[in-house]
Amino acid sequence: LSPFWSFVLLFSTTYSFQTLFCRYRGFILFLTFLFYTAYHLSRKPISIVKSQLHRNCSTVVKPADLNITDNDTWCDWAPFDQNNYQSLFGYLDNSFLVAYAIGMFISGIFGERLPLRYYLSFGMLMSGLFTCLFGLGFYLNIHSLGYYAFIQVMNGLMQTTGWPAVVACVGNWFGKGKRGFIMGVWNSHTSVGNILGSLIAGVYVSSAWGMSFIVPGLIIASTGILCFFFLVEKPEDVSCTPPQHHSGETEPLLQNSSHIDRTVNGAITTESVEVIEEHTEAISFCGALCIPGVVEFSLCLLFAKLVSYTFLYWLPLYISNVAHFKAKEAGDMSTLFDVGGIVGGIMAGLVSDYTGGRATTCCVMLLGAAPMLFLYNYIGQRSLGTTIGMLLLCGGLVNGPYALITTAVSADLGTHESLRGNSRALSTVTAIIDGTGSIGAALGPLLAGIISPTGWNNVFYMLISADVLACLVRNITLFNDITIQQELPFI
């Protein structure tokens, strides 16, 4: 338990345990929201800075005292001043995303066995360090692709500490009831982080792009310090009982309660309650794979995240090239996609709670996303109003299923009824689902870098195909919705 909360517990006797528990839950939800906002905030600058590393130099005013040897690339940052700059950007993206995908599978295993407070604090501090090191390349005049690729690999590995840990922490504090809506609202940290990262990077991108990385790096390092002092990993740490995860469980408020007082006809009676002890041994990787629905939703997320992360890393450059916006304007416009993602994630969680079908909700949104992507590519740049409307709509339909799978579905599967006797599966299940999704996140930007020189139309055909494949894979779990709803009610 952190020093701060140890102090709070000494002076908490004046509050009822119900009030105290609610305050803890609200504060933990806010803290984890802040933490993962910082994670995504530090990932976004690379997509904003791309259009500054390689520009159309014919539109840039040349300094009078500059000795120019190449009129076409004098304003570009080597090694991104060559014709293969899009492929080089793809290599940078993939350096991060492949490391992230590989590290995610390992991170969940560590997350089950190490204190989450220490694990998150370490991850945020190291992510801040490597984000700042990328920005220092501007001030140290570093032009080595290997340097930036190495920084991206290390940052990708450090970023894997975030997602399994924060989902496990929230899952520890919140039961199954209204989980889709709560986590839909909570998961807006992804889009909020992207928006803030875009805006912060956009402030410095045209003058000193190194600060576009350094400022977010300092922010995430600061949140790591907050995590060390304020995070409470689970209710047991503050003498509260974990929330109800299954419909057949009782949910007492105080830990280790063996009696419940009841009032019957004015008389107080005491009833004994059997306390069920659960084993605390962490689940194995293969054991997590055997949980019904884990493999299917993991494959669904692979294709859904491919689309989402391609937009994350390439949308500002696409807007800059097609709509001819400047770097800052393109970055600001791309935030509308994330605004739509916030609404889409909340609506997906709310609808899935009301209908009881996570897979059905995701499938419907994916079916709507494919034609919207097609329309955005062909009519999205005709006017400012059309661009804004299409970005909001596409953002909601693309990020809604992605948000639902990575939050509510992961938490549902990690606390599935088949895990009675093992309550430490949430982090591993989350890591498997998000790790598989991260393979798609790595493939999307890589394929975009390879395909984009042949035309942006082909990039959108690739994204539409991925959405269709995600929907086809999702039909497996959609069938489960209809046939085994009683067995797996969360799906």
Closest by CA position to 415, among listed 292, 270, 251: 292
Helix or strand or coil: residue 264? Answer: strand
106: which 2 tokens?
């390992």
262 SS3 class: strand
Overall domain count for the chain: 1
Residue 420, pLDDT > 60, answer no
Q: Which two tokens stand for residue 240?
A: 């509260």
Residue 193 · residue 44 · CB < 8 Å:
yes
Q: What whole-number distance in Å separates Cα of residue 156 and Cα of residue 148?
A: 12
Give the pLDDT of residue 484.
38
Alpha carbon separation from 189 to 2, 194, 310, 403 (Å, rounded): 24, 8, 19, 10
**This prediction's pTM:** 0.74
Instruction: Tell me the range of 43-57, 116-130, 269-283, 379-393 where mean pLDDT is highest.
Output: 116-130
- Identify which of 357, 315, 302 has the alpha carbon closest to the alpha carbon of residue 469: 302
Q: Which residue has the tokens 């919207």?
A: 372
Instruction: List the structure tokens of 276.
Output: 């069920």
Instruction: Please check the confidence at residue 42 and state whether its pLDDT lies above 80.
Output: yes
Structure tokens at 243: 């929330």
DSSP 163-190: HHHHHHHHHHH--STTHHHHHHHHTTHH
Cα gap 48→416, rounded to integer Å: 40
CATH number at residue 444: 1.20.1250.20
Euclidean distance between CA atoms 37 and 7, whole angstroms: 27
Any idea how long the chain is? 491
Considering 228-237, 298-307, 319-328, the range whose residues carry the highest mean pLDDT is 298-307
pLDDT band at 248 (very low <50, low <70, confident <90, very high): very low
pLDDT classification of 45: cutoffs 50, 70, 90: very high
Note if the bond before 45 is cis, omega within 30 degrees: no
pLDDT for residue 424: 57
Query: What pLDDT score was predicted for residue 397?
Result: 93
Task: Please answer whether residues 218 and 128 qualify as being in contact, where contact means their C-beta atoms are separated by less than 8 angstroms.
Answer: yes
Say whether pLDDT at 374 is over 70.
yes
Task: Please state at what angle helix 189-204 crosses helix 211-230, rounded to 10 degrees.
Answer: 140
Range ranked top by mean pLDDT from 69-83, 155-169, 177-191: 155-169
For residue 357, pLDDT beyond 50: yes
CA distance 49 to 281: 45
Residues 6+ apart with CB under 8 A from 308: 341, 398, 399, 402, 441, 444
H/E stretch holding 269: strand 267-272
Kindly state the average pLDDT of the residues 445-464: 89
Segment 456-461 shows an average pLDDT of 92
Q: Answer yes or no: is pLDDT of 2 > 60.
A: no
Element (H, E) at 260: strand 259-264
Assess whether pLDDT exceeds 50 at residue 261.
no
pLDDT of the residue at 325: 81
pLDDT the model gives residue 15: 53
Mean pLDDT of the chain: 79
Query: By CB neighbour count within 10 A (0-12 exposed, 13-18 middle, 19+ buried), where does 262 fall?
Result: exposed
Domain range for 327 is 3-487
Sign of the torsion formed by the C-alpha atoms of 10, 12, 18 and 22: negative
